Amino acid sequence: MSVPAELRYTPEHEWVSVEGTSASIGITEYAAQQLGDVVYVSLPTPGTAVTAGEPCGEVESVKSVSDLYSPVDGEVTEVNTELEDDPSLVNAEPYTAGWMFRVKVGQDSNGEAALPPDLLSPAEYEELTKSAG
Amino acid sequence: MTSFAGWQMPLRYASETAEHLAVRRAAGLFDLSHMGEISVTGPDAGAALDYALTGQLSAAPVGRARYTMICAADGGVLDDLVVYRTGPQEFLVIANAANTAVVHEQLRARASGWDAEVRDATGDYALIAIQGPAAASILAPLTEIDLSAMKYYAGAFGSVAGRRAWVARTGYTGEDGFEVFCAPADAAGIWEALAAAGAPAGLIPAGLAARDTLRLEAGMPLYGNELGPDMTPFEAGLGRVVKFDKPGDFVGREALAARAAAGPRRRLVGLTILSRRVARHGYPVLEDGQTSGTVTSGAPSPTLGVPIAMAYLDAGSGADAGSGAGSGAGSGGEDKPDLFVGIRGEAVPANLTDLPFYRRRQ
Domains of chain A: 8-106 (2.40.50.100)
**What average pLDDT does range B251-264 have in this prediction?**
95
Kindly give, in sequence order, each residue whose CB lies less than 8 Å from that of residue B208, ignoring residues fewer than 6 positions away: B2, B4, B9, B10, B11, B12
Mean pLDDT to the nearest integer, B114-131 = 98
Tell me whether the omega of the peptide bond preceding residue B356 falls within 30 degrees of 0, making it cis.
yes
Interface residues of chain B, partner chain A, Cβ below 8 Å: 11-12, 15-17, 209, 212-213, 276-278, 280, 299-300, 302, 344
Up-side HSE of residue A107: CA atoms within 13 Å toward CB? 7
CATH of domain B2-215: 3.30.1360.120
Residues of B in contact with A42 (CB under 8 A): 277
Q: State the pLDDT at residue B335.
A: 72
Q: Specify the CATH number of the domain B265-362.
A: 2.40.30.110
Alpha-carbon distances, residue B134 vs A26, B50, B99 (angstroms): 39, 36, 32
Q: Which residues of A touch B216 (CB under 8 A)?
A: none
- Average pLDDT of the segment spanning B209-236: 97
Q: Note whether B277 contacts A40, CB cutoff 8 Å.
A: yes
Q: What burial class does residue B228 get, using C-beta atoms within 10 Å of its C-beta: 0-12 exposed, 13-18 middle, 19+ buried?
A: middle
pLDDT 10s digits, B166-196: 999 999 999 999 999 999 999 999 999 999 9
> How far apart, in Å, are the Cα atoms of B81 and each of A46, B29, B51, B96, B184?
52, 21, 15, 7, 21
Task: Provide CATH 3.30.1360.120 ranges for chain B.
Answer: 2-215
Mean pLDDT across A27-44: 96
Judging contacts by C-beta atoms under 8 Å, the chain B residues touching residue A60 are: 276-278, 300
* CATH 2.40.30.110 location in chain B: 265-362
B323: pLDDT confidence band, cut at 50, 70 and 90?
A: very low
| Helix-helix angle B45-52:B100-110, to 10 degrees | 110
Is B329's pLDDT higher than 50?
no
**pLDDT above 70: residue A68:** yes
Cβ-based burial of A5 (10 A; exposed 0-12, middle 13-18, buried ≥19): exposed
Per-residue confidence (pLDDT) for residue A43, from 0 to 100: 97
Mean pLDDT on B289-314: 96
- Inter-chain CB proximity B209 and A63 less than 8 Å: yes
Per-residue pLDDT averaged across A74-92, rounded? Answer: 97
Mean pLDDT over residues B139-154, rounded? 98
Average pLDDT, chain A: 95
> What pLDDT, on the 0 to 100 scale, is given for residue B325?
47
Q: Output the pTM of the full model.
A: 0.94
Instruction: Report which DSSP code applies to A65.
Output: E
DSSP state letters, B220-284: ---BTTTB-TTS-TTTTT-GGG--TTSSS--TTHHHHHHHHHH--SEEEEEEEESSSSPP-TTPE
Average pLDDT for B324-331: 46
Of B36-40, B249-253, B326-330, minimum mean pLDDT range: B326-330
Give B19's DSSP letter.
H
Share of chain B above pLDDT 70, in %: 96
Task: Say yes or no for a CB contact (<8 Å) between B276 and A63.
Answer: no
